């Protein structure tokens, strides 16, 4: 695995390590109040980013395009805003960060959908 597929997949492993430690922390303290943030870190950070990485590994010509780097930046930015944003929302500190993060995450999925569509085979 190389290039953008490596970075998608490797960063996903880091997110799930943090997510698992967070889960263990929740279980140990019996404080599950932030579980939606943990769930989004794991599902957007691990599952989604790893799937992106697998796709670019399977279709390296798409991984070599500049759009793949833009996709990585937008997906990573969305995650980095959304997870703390959910924590802020859950602790009554406003929804702005979560809102911006969720829109970036949506844009990242639109970019991915366009990428997949443009590589369709006749
Ligand atoms: C060491 C690993 C993990 C631990 C100890 C852990 C622990 C927890 C705990 C304590 C909760 C709160 C449950 C509740 O209050 O209902 C939770 C929720 C959740 N976790 Fe994890 N987790 C781990 C890994 C993961 C991974 C890898 C994923 C996804 C790929 C994940 C996805 C979720 C989801 C979706 C929820 C919300 C479930 C619900 O709606 O009740 N977790 N986790």
What digits encode the pLDDT tens for the residues 100-121? 999 999 999 999 999 999 999 8
Encoded tokens for 87: 């924590």
Encoded tokens for 69: 């780097």
Q: Identify the band that residue 122 occupies on the pLDDT scale cut at 50, 70 and 90.
A: confident
Q: Please enumerate in sequence order all residues whose Cβ is within 8 A of that of 109, keeping only pairs 6 or more positions apart, or say none.
A: none
User: Sign of the CA dihedral 33, 40, 27, 19?
Assistant: negative
Encoded tokens for 6: 């490596």
Q: Which helix (H) or strand (E) holds 15?
A: helix 3-29
Say what the pLDDT of residue 94 is: 97
Answer yes or no: is the C-beta of 34 below 6 A from any ligand 1 atom: no
Model-level pTM? 0.95
Q: Where do the structural domains in the chain lie, given as residue ranges?
A: 3-118
CA dihedral 70, 78, 53, 17 (to 10 degrees): 140
21 CA: nearest ligand 1 atom: 1
Ligand 1 centroid from CA 41, angstroms:
10
32 CA: nearest ligand 1 atom: 15
Question: What would the pLDDT profile of 13-68 be if each residue is shown by its tens digit?
Answer: 999 999 999 999 999 999 999 999 999 999 999 999 999 999 999 999 999 999 99
Say what the pLDDT of residue 95 is: 97
Pocket test for ligand 1, best of 38, 43, 46, 51 (most atoms within 8 A of CB): 38
46 CA: nearest ligand 1 atom: 30
């Amino acid at each position: 695995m190389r290039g953008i597929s490596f970075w998608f997949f490797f960063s996903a492993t880091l997110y799930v390590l943090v997510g698992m430690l967070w889960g263990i922390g929740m279980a140990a303290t019996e404080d599950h109040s932030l579980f939606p943030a943990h769930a989004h870190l794991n599902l957007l950070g691990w599952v989604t980013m790893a799937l992106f990485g697998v796709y670019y590994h399977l279709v390296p010509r798409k991984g070599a395009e500049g759009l793949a780097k833009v996709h990585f930046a937008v997906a990573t930015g969305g995650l980095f805003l959304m997870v703390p944003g959910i924590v802020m929302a859950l602790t009554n500190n406003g929804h702005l960060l979560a809102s911006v993060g969720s829109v970036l995450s949506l844009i990242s999925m639109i970019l991915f959908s366009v990428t997949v569509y443009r590589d369709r085979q006749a």
